[in-house]
């Protein structure tokens, strides 16, 4: 049976303005607002005086577990932030069995639209838990006030559908698809259509018009929902671009802006596949996303190290089979990649 988008349950999502100040009228009192240190001062005046902030310091699972003990009087959870805040909010809602209301403060990642929380277990990302928010509120006033680099970076979690599907097809062509995730054209087609919708409206995305925001949200929702809806299958939504980012992160131990690093992985991944490079690099630069290592406070040598070790990393982490398993990362490839990316920004 082919997959249809309408068969895959997505979270209730509401668009509007001035939505956060309504929280005091419908979220059960004694709410825990799971947010970040830098965001709380911006939004505390929109929340009831007795709302309790929880500042996310880390999504390390042991830290979150330890903090659970301090949350005994909480009656509801509001997630207010980007990926880390939504993941921590999901984790607490799951462990405490409390109603969850999500307010993403930017479109930086798809975390808010997925059931499981990304937490670190001894440094390695694991997706655990089960949290269905009552609703995800896209407060346009909040989104429009977020730093551009965060909002626009969200395309990383959409364009990754393209390289994800390339990887899935690569595995299929070599008879290397995991038995539980056989290649499915209907699923791949929906992902690709979502990515194409964003590619077709780059100027709406770039200016973050309400229409651009809706197109982005529609694609991010698909990423979040279809992981579960396809039977915990990530094949149609991510691949080598995320693996490159994870390898870079593991090698440098630095914190990255998710979308920026994923877009670097996207371009390197497209180059490895030998597909759609000009188009994707053109889109990334058009949107003003700087994927040069210097913009992420790392060096090309860090990126080269991550690429040289990519195959070993993917095998060690048990990641899905794709181009990283078969591609010979030569010094020539690395130099070409560096020059291609650097020249795209000097034009």
Q: At what angle do helices 61-68 and 83-96 cross, to 10 degrees?
A: 50
**Please, what is the minimum distance in Å from the beta carbon of residue 233 to Zn ion?**
16
Nearest CB to Zn ion, comparing residues 157 and 184: 157
- Whether 320 and 178 have beta carbons less than 8 Å apart is answered as yes
Q: How many CA atoms, within 13 angstroms, populate the side-chain half-sphere of residue 141?
A: 9
What burial class does residue 318 get, using C-beta atoms within 10 Å of its C-beta: 0-12 exposed, 13-18 middle, 19+ buried?
A: exposed
Minimum distance from residue 161 beta carbon to Zn ion (Å): 11
- Pick the closer one to Zn ion by CB: 157 or 167: 157
E strands in the chain: 13-16, 31-35, 52-55, 76-81, 100-104, 117-121, 124-128, 135-139
Residue 184 C-beta-side C-alpha neighbours within 13 Å: 21
Cα angle: 224, vertex 159, 121; to 5 degrees? 50
Q: Does 157 bind Zn ion (CB under 5 A)?
A: yes
Give the nearer residue to Zn ion in terms of CB position, either 82 or 129.
82
**Contact set for Zn ion, span 221-250 (CB under 5 A):** none
> Per-residue x/- mask for Zn ion, residues 106 to 135, rule CB under 5 A?
------------------------------
Instruction: State yes or no: residue 87 binds Zn ion (CB under 5 A).
Output: no
Q: Which residue's CB is nearer to Zn ion, number 157 or number 249?
A: 157
Shortest Cβ 260–Zn ion spacing (Å): 11
Candidates 81-89, 153-161, 328-336, 337-345: pick the segment binding Zn ion (CB under 5 A): 153-161
The nearest distance, CB 238 to Zn ion, in angstroms, is: 6
Residue 139 binds Zn ion (CB under 5 A): no
Sign of CA dihedral 26, 75, 129, 53: positive
Q: Where do contacts with Zn ion occur on this chain (CB under 5 A)? A: 157
């Amino acid at each position: 049976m082919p997959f249809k988008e309408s068969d895959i349950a997505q979270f209730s999502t509401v668009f509007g303005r001035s939505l956060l100040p309504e929280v005091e009228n419908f979220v059960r009192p004694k709410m825990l607002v799971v947010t970040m240190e830098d965001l709380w001062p911006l939004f505390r005046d929109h929340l009831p005086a007795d709302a309790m902030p929880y500042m996310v310091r880390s999504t390390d699972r042991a830290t979150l577990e330890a903090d659970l003990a301090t949350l005994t009087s909480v009656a509801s959870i509001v997630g207010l932030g980007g990926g880390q805040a939504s993941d921590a909010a999901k984790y607490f809602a799951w462990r405490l069995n409390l109603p969850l209301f999500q307010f993403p403060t930017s479109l930086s990642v798809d975390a808010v639209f997925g059931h499981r929380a990304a937490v670190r277990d001894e440094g390695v990302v694991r997706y655990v838990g089960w949290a269905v928010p009552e609703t995800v509120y896209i407060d346009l006033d909040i989104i429009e006030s977020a730093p551009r680099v965060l909002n626009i970076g969200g395309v990383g979690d959409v364009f990754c559908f393209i390289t994800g599907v390339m990887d899935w097809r690569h595995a299929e062509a070599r008879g290397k698809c995991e038995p539980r995730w056989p290649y499915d054209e209907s699923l791949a087609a929906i992902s690709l259509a979502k990515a194409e919708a964003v590619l077709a409206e780059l100027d709406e995305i770039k200016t973050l018009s309400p229409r651009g925001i809706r197109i982005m949200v529609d694609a991010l929702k698909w990423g979040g929902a279809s992981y579960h809806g396809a039977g915990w299958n990530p094949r149609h939504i991510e691949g080598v671009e995320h693996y490159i980012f994870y390898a870079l992160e593991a090698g440098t131990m630095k914190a990255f802006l998710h979308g920026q690093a994923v877009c670097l992985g996207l371009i390197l991944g497209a180059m490895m596949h030998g597909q759609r490079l000009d188009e994707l690099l053109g889109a990334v630069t058009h949107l003003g996303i700087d994927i040069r290592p210097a913009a992420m406070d790392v060096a090309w040598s860090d990126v080269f190290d991550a690429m040289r070790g990519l195959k070993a990393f993917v095998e060690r982490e048990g990641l899905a089979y794709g181009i990283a398993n078969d591609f010979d990362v030569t010094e020539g490839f690395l130099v070409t990649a560096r020059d291609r990316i650097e020249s795209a920004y000097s034009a």
